Amino acid sequence: MTEREKDALALEGVELQLGARDFHFDARFAPNAITAITGPSGAGKSTLINLIAGFERPARGRILFSGADLTAQLPGLRPVSLIFQDNNLFAHLDLATNIGLGIHPGLKLDAEDRASISRALSDVGLAGYERRKPATLSGGERQRAAFARALVRRKPILLLDEPFAALDPGLRAEMGELLLSLQRQTASTVLLVTHNPQDVAALADEVAFLQQGRLDFLVPQNQFFAMRDVPEVQRFLGKS
């Protein structure tokens, strides 16, 4: 087994049924890289993220990371941070508390934890925002705070489900830069669900393409954009 295979996040024979849809995933995601998760609506992108996060349990198969079997682990114990399109922050709590929840759900924070919250806020361009409530922030600032919360957790897997979908194009590019710099800083395994070919081009090292509850293929980014003869890919790219 190569180093890459040992450190990888892997799904082995993972099966699940939700309503009328069957899912079957066999995949090995590159460590220390960003993999874009793409494919048509309803293909199973969010379900894949939910399986890795532990919000869905497979009926069969295993989910492995760095040799450890995560399949039976509770979501809170998995080596995973999550960022969604919205609902990342609790409205009644200030940013320091919201981010502190990422470190310790019971909020038993020591001086070192408080220092790391302030450092994370500063890393995402929100230095001094500790006492601000989410409602007083712009959409982009709220999403930065969600990144700060992921950062303080120091988990080796970062899962993002359409994190930029509600942002305008300028902010989208800015948050993409932030994601790239956080990935480099933490060397984490990042899975990024996106419908946006520009996100794939700007951010992804590899591209996973899902269809009808299955992983169709997982290829390096340049190979994905060269798949001119695959109608589903052309449709995703808006070219057919």
Residues forming the site for ligand ATP (CB under 6 A): 18-19, 21, 39, 41-47
Q: Closest separation between CB of residue 39 and ligand ATP, Å? A: 6
Q: Closest separation between CB of residue 98 and ligand ATP, Å? A: 25
Give the residue among 167, 172, 225 at the shortest CA–CA distance from 38: 225
- The C-alpha atoms of residue 198 and residue 200 are separated, in whole angstroms, by 5
Which DSSP helix (H) or strand (E) runs through 82?
A: strand 80-84
Q: Closest separation between CB of residue 67 and ligand ATP, Å? A: 27
Q: Which is nearer to ligand ATP, 31 or 58 (CB)?
A: 58
Q: Closest separation between CB of residue 18 and ligand ATP, Å? A: 4
Minimal CB distance to ligand ATP: which residue? Answer: 19
Q: Which is nearer to ligand ATP, 47 or 81 (CB)?
A: 47
Kindly provide the b/e burial profile for residues 148-165, where b requires at least 16 CB atoms within 10 angstroms of the residue's own CB: bbbbbbebbbbbbbbbbe
- The C-alpha atoms of residue 172 and residue 223 are separated, in whole angstroms, by 24
Q: Which is nearer to ligand ATP, 46 or 66 (CB)?
A: 46
Q: Which is nearer to ligand ATP, 17 or 136 (CB)?
A: 17
Give the residue among 148, 206, 193, 175 at the shortest CA–CA distance from 52: 193
